[in-house]
Structure 1
Amino acid sequence: MNDTAYALSAEREIARGERFSFGKNWSKFLRELNDERIALAMASLEQYLGKGYLHGKSFLDVGSGSGLFSLAARKLGARVFSFDYDPQSVACTQELKRRYFSDDPDWIVTQGSALDQAFLHQLGQFDVVYSWGVLHHTGNMWRALENMVPLVKPDGKLYIAIYNDQGKWSRFWLRIKKLYCQSPVIIKYLILGVVFIRQRGVRLMIDLLRGRPGHSWRNYVKKGGRGMSPWYDLVDWVGGYPFEVAKPEEIFDFYYQRGFLLDKLKTCGGGIGCNEFVFIRSKG
């Protein structure tokens, strides 16, 4: 598929309520992007990949979204290749490249799919393949996970984050996400309001009673450690469809069987959110 075909396919799926408009959400997030958020994103990459590790390395951002982590990797000295299925996400990443690394040959941004093996095959291999919170939104998570394998160089790193399997609660959220994507705007805002109260309301009320109104909301950027936004993360969570999940041991076993060793793991403690994995591909 070419860029036009990808764009048309994504737009049709969004119009039919089969896919959340991730790029539309991230384009709004870019209004809040500042040096502090960029620094936190850079620190997050170095925390998991190693301080100074990215300098001179090749970095593939699979599902670049807002483009923040492609930007962070480039600032850390990596040669970056970014792609996303959503045309507005591609536009976000291109905008960040324009702002910070205009006409830089060491940062390429294009449109593509983690499910398109022909597209992926032409990319070659990378020192780091990064896909944070993306592959579970492709519509075929296990195929997407499989497609990451040949992209990683021997002794290279695969850094992924996958939604935690909560059993019945994951099935509940799947229904909510599907309803959100298929609903008119007024219903979308109603769903967002209910989830906002459920997930953030108690914490905000405690802040108010302690005389620190909005403290946890304002501190989200630092507490999360990735430079993201509490509101746009919430919208992404509620609307993020397609939606698949996995237990940490399932991801570990999947990649162990394919010659990857676990280097780092951070779970979400069995709750809502992503489990993060850094794997190293064996040389053998």
Structure 2
Amino acid sequence: MADFDYQWKNLLGKEVLEKEEEKFECNNDRVKEFLHLTGIKPWYKKDSFIKNKTCLDAGCGPGRWTCAIQRLGAKKVDSFDLSEEAIKRCKEINPDAYMFDIWDLKPNPVYDFVLSWGVLHHTEKPREAFTKVASQVKKNGMLHVMIYNKENDWAYDGFRGETCVEKHKYWVTLSDKEKIKLCEDMVKKRRGNIHGWFDALNPTYNWSYSASEIEQWFEEEGFTEIKLKMVKQNINMNGILS
């Protein structure tokens, strides 16, 4: 995935982004963020879906949430991503992290907890990709996804939602400096940070959905006890495979 290889290899090392590096450091702040953003109960709860469990971080990036899952007491965490540069970073905290394409997943329901954070909406066909990650969850296991909320598409100047592919044609004509400048302008106009905006604008696909659409996906795949947590511009949702 060339889009993300460029991002992890170049942007995270640029001076303009040095102050944002800390969000990718593996420490207890990642645990606090993970629990806040997902609403998942921490390790000391009897019904924790992470402590002493086998987990999958599907589309792990540099390993921010792999770190959190490890620190929450997971017995094993498998981490994969299509980006070579992201995996290089993730291997620093999970030596077994590996390059893999989500489309190559075969039904393998062995995981107690599967996370797919900010991944599905960057695939060509998110609904089909959802089936792929859902097929990794064992009975009574949990799947958690984070997906863009279509209610906030207005803030992305056409780069998100139904117009994303057409808008990407404009993005690829820009130089690196012009892309960074555009992200800086978005920070001034909408807040956030440069890395976050680059992450939002750079991919070819930036699909978005309503919470009810994602809930339907969970139901169609046999999940129950579906819970929603809206955080900023994103849908965080999880369910238990019945």
Per the shorter chain, which TM-score range?
Answer: 0.7 to 0.9
Q: CA deviation at 1:255?
A: 1.3
Q: Relative to 1, partners in 2 of residues 1:179 and 1:24: Cα closer, same or farther, differing over 3 Å?
A: farther
Task: Name the CA shift for 1:167/1:232 in 2 (closer, same or farther; >3 Å).
Answer: closer
- 1:199 lines up with 2:190 in the alignment: yes
Give the aligned partner of residue 97 of structure 1.
94
For the pair 1:147 / 2:126, whether they are aligned, the reply is no
Between structure 1 and structure 2, the one with the greater Rg is: 1
Alpha-carbon distance, 1:20 to partner: 7.5
Aligned-residue identity in percent = 24
Which residue number in structure 2 is paired with residue 61 of structure 1? 57
* Counterpart check, 1:109 vs 2:97: yes
CA distance in 2, matches of 1:138, 1:35: 23
Distance 2:6 2:106 in 1: 26
Does structure 1 residue 84 correspond to structure 2 residue 69? no
- Aligned residue in 2 for 1:261: 224
Deviations along 1:21-71, whole A, 9 cap, x unmatched?
343367447983379873232124445221212221011001101201101
Alpha-carbon shift at residue 246 of structure 1 (Å): 1.1
CA contact (8 A) 1:20 1:239 kept: no
Quote the RMSD (CA, aligned, Å). Answer: 2.9
1:248 Cα deviation from its structure 2 partner: 0.7
Counterpart position of 2:196:
233
Deviations 1:241-266 (A, max 9, x none): 32111111011012112210144211
Displacement after TM superposition at 1:157 (Å): 0.4
How many residues were matched structurally?
224
- The letter of the residue matching 1:186 is K
Unpaired runs of at least 5, structure 1? 1-9, 99-107, 201-216, 218-229
2:171 to 171, 175, 180: 180
**In proportion to residue count, which structure has more helix?**
1
Task: Indicate the structure whose relative CO is greater, using CA pairs within 8 Å and at least 6 residues apart.
Answer: 1
Contact 2:225-2:239 within 8 A present in 1 as well = yes
Q: Of 215, 223, 229, which residue of structure 2 is paired with 1:252?
A: 215
When residues 36 and 142 of structure 1 are mapped into structure 2, their CA distance, relative to the original with a 3 A threshold, is: closer
3-state SS in 2 of match to 1:121: coil
Instruction: Report the 3-state secondary structure (helix = DSSP H, G, I; strand = E; otherwise coil) of the residue aligned with 1:66.
Output: coil
- Per-residue Cα deviation, 1:155-199 (whole angstroms, up to 9, x for no partner): 000010001113873681225454324422232133223212211
2:28 to 39, 46, 49: 39
- The two structures have a TM-score, normalised by structure 1, of 0.69
- Distance in 2 (CA, whole Å) between partners of 1:121 and 1:109 is 18
What TM-score, normalized to structure 2? 0.80
Contact kept, 8 Å, 2:28 with 2:71, in 1: the verdict is no
Query: Which residue does 1:127 correspond to in 2?
Result: 112
For 1:38 and 1:241, the matched residues in 2 are separated by: 32
Runs (4+) off by over 6 Å:
34-37
Letter in 2 for 1:57: K
In structure 2, list runs of 5 or more residues that go unmatched: none
